[in-house]
Chain A
Amino acid sequence: MKLPPFDYEAPRTVSEAVELLAEHQDEASVLAGGQSLIPLLALRLAHPAVLIDINGIEELSGVSAADGWVAIGAMTRAYVAEESETVADALPLLAAALPLIGHEAIRSRGTIGGSLAHADPAAELPAVARALDAEFVVRAQSGERVVPAAEWFEGYLTTSRDPGELLVKVRFPAAGPGTGISFQEVARRHGDFAIVGLAVSLMVSEGSISDARLAFAGMSDVPVRAAVAEDLLVGERPSTELFDEAARRATDSVDPPADLHGSAEYRRKVAAALVRRGLRTAADNAGERQ
């Protein structure tokens, strides 16, 4: 299970990287953490002519907070984000999801940007990004543009990144007062990809839900927002009956995939359970954030 041959480039700056991408377009793959790409290469499921290794581009790493947003450089390692106090304070949903990504050794190398650019619908970070309406900053030779999460994920392992573009950072809105969160998943084993995962972020003010965001992992070929359930929740007071109804609506409106690990019907049932549990958890901890 050895990697196929490729030309190797190791740019030191973003401009060098985008110049290479402009030249090679979709003949090139970008190597970030390698935790998703290298297995694909080892299994010879991908044969890029050029590998552009961006691990040497220092400007791509870092976590910074400003103006109610947290910007995370694309090459920020998952473990760095996990240990970041900024993330723990301002992005509790991300903080809850990070420890569920694979195992420690994966998080030693895997990056925030890499996971989001890889866009596996069963992964944790895409669901978090979709739930929070994160913003994806990509750069090409022509300049920078910002892609909202709703437009970033296009299909299975497919994003709206043009072949000449490099994802340089992802911005998440900082959690406001009254925010309660939950990230839960059902996986076959600890550290596995989710069969179904759910990112929940609620804002509760004066006892009723003012904002509700639910995003599923593993229920489609992209992370999906349970918009029908969100609409139901806004303006209501948390209750078991409300959450049960939200679970019903959330799962009525999805068409989940079937694979070795679960049928469509199984995923629907699990999704409903996660909605009930996730909303309960998020509502319970909403009171803690001032």
Chain B
Amino acid sequence: MVEITLRVNGTACTGPAEARKTLADFLRDDLNLTGTHLGCEHGVCGACTVIVDGRAVRSCLMLAVQAAGSEVTTIEGLAPDGGLGVVQQAMWDSHSFQCGFCTPGMVMQAVAFLGDHPDAGEQQIREALSGNICRCTGYQSIIDGVLLAAKRSRGR
């Protein structure tokens, strides 16, 4: 067991973590942040994507102990006080999702990408999200949501 301290969604968390426990499982089991989903646990589907120290990462491919001292943002931490952030609102408006299982990872990846590439076009967005699998939508509605979010952010 390793005692770790990290900031998750702006709050400091301290607790014991078995070395072999993934960050994804630590978030879900120990911090009760079940918004981050497990879709494959071998780093392909992207459902577990969170933001660590400003970068989108697959939380199933990090050990919890490796996140010690880091800033982690999960889907629960995106919008203040029960509202919706720009990307989330745009995706709601665009009917981006169906079953919702890929959603948290997809949203986090989109947020991270748009943060670095606010003027991205459709092809770039598709490539950026190509590591997040969705089985329900055929992706078009998701891409539309991200494009809408980008447009609204630029309009600010």
Contact = CB atoms under 8 A, between A and B. Distances in A.
Contacts of A34: 61-63, 66
A70 B21 CA distance: 36
Contact of B131 (A5, A41, A104, A109): A104
A1 interface: yes
Interface string B13-27: 000000111100100
A186 to B, nearest CB: 16
A67 B25 CA distance: 47
A189 B133 CA distance: 12
Interface residues of B, number: 30
Contacts of A190: 127, 130
Interface in B93-120: 109, 112-113
Contacts of B113: 104
Question: From DSSP, what is the main secondary structure of chain B's interface residues?
Answer: mixed
A106 B20 contact: no
B46 A53 contact: no
Interface in B61-87: 61-63, 65-66
B42 A53 contact: no
A8 B131 contact: no
A105 interface: yes
Nearest to A1: B41
A34 B60 CA distance: 10
Interface in B48-67: 49, 52, 55-58, 60-63, 65-66
A108 interface: yes
Contacts of B112: 104
B63 A42 contact: no
A104 B128 contact: yes
Contacts of A1: 40-42
Most chain A CB within 10 A, of B20, B62, B127, is at B20
A34 B57 CA distance: 11
A8 B46 CA distance: 26
A161 B43 CA distance: 26
Contacts of B60: 38, 42
Interface string A1-38: 11111111010000000000000000000010011001
Interface residues on A, range: 20 to 34
A76 to B, nearest CB: 14
A191 B127 CA distance: 8
A8 B65 contact: yes
Interface string B133-153: 000000000000000000000
A188 B21 CA distance: 32
A105 B42 contact: no
B58 A55 contact: no
Interface of B: 2, 19-22, 25, 40-43, 46, 49, 52, 55-58, 60-63, 65-66, 109, 112-113, 127-128, 130-131
What are the 4 A-B residue pairs with the smallest beta carbon separation, nearest first? A103-B131, A8-B19, A108-B55, A39-B42
